[in-house]
A and B are shown apart, each in its own frame.
Chain A
């Protein structure tokens, strides 16, 4: 039997808000206003179980409509909203407020190493240029088979990890070698080359290896594991790069 005191307590608990006050510290840049980027603080009430993207939505919808960021599916699969949250590259739609120490301001910046166009939006062209350079599509010789190209479960397993890439650029923009001059292919391009190099159905592995053997290919990797740490899909990026290096050495010589 519930005593009146516990009932009172229950009622008090149910009326207190589960929302907490969080400060978002957002890196703003608008080339139509100023040449420099600056920090701007926003305070909002938010459920700690919500995500950083929900916080950005609250800011954009209720406080400052000029805040600019990319997001499409908002459920961690389109790869649009990679940003640097509390100094670490993550997807805003997969980062919960409660996992970020909400008592301190949550910093939100655009990903590094790419040109900032406005607020959190960067120019992704160089990133996709590197991606296109590794020919991320199936290349075969001879006549097309009349039915689908089969492969064994083991052959599929060989490159399973690198098929998970969503091209969010969290890995490439966390790579210190990419930060320098942006000429390095970057982890994402190598991951997507790996996906085809180790595919038993593909026949252009040699060409892709040749491309990645170049001056700005896999040999510029310094094995810092920033990419593996940053990947929101949990791909072992550094391991994939290492496997491409090994393939270059063992497969050809």
Chain B
């Protein structure tokens, strides 16, 4: 049986031979000085639990929010300054929106953090992407909280 093989070695002189093999990719998980030490905290466990628990709560909060905003009582066309002012006059809706803001932002931020950990390959890329993520999260959460608590329906 003759082998239908692609040419194994081309005619040009190879850079590599027995004494000078090509470099192989560095083995993963090799213990180097840069290998992070074990942290011995429960942060990852709490993060994992938070994703599950906040997810359950968010299903109720977000679907309820979408139902009120987009479906009931005339749909999206009713939403205006007056509608928002009317809702935020009640502490119940203030609390609803505040909890939804915090849970959704932390849930999303933690999800993106794991995505960055899984996909960013270089340590510096990872560092800057996460810094950007944390900055955006803190900014949005603080701004949203400020608006919910200091909303003034009589603003002109």
Contact = CB atoms under 8 A, between A and B. Distances in A.
Contacts of A7: none
Interface residues of A, number: 48
Majority secondary structure, A binding face = mixed
A129 B42 CA distance: 23
B22 A34 contact: yes
Interface in B48-80: 48-49
A32 B27 CA distance: 18
Interface in B111-144: 114, 117-119, 121
Contacts of B22: 31-32, 34-35
Contact of B6 (A31, A41, A123, A222): A41
Contacts of B17: 32
Nearest to A116: B24
Majority secondary structure, B binding face = loop
A114 B27 contact: yes
Interface string B3-47: 111101100001111100111111111110000101110111101
Given A63-B3, A222-B118, A249-B49, A32 B18 contact: yes
Interface in A14-70: 23, 28, 31-35, 38-45, 59, 62-64
B118 A177 contact: yes
B40 A45 contact: no
A126 B118 CA distance: 18
16 contacts: A31-B16, A31-B23, A33-B8, A34-B22, A35-B15, A41-B5, A43-B1, A62-B1, A63-B3, A125-B27, A183-B29, A210-B40, A214-B39, A215-B38, A215-B39, A219-B48
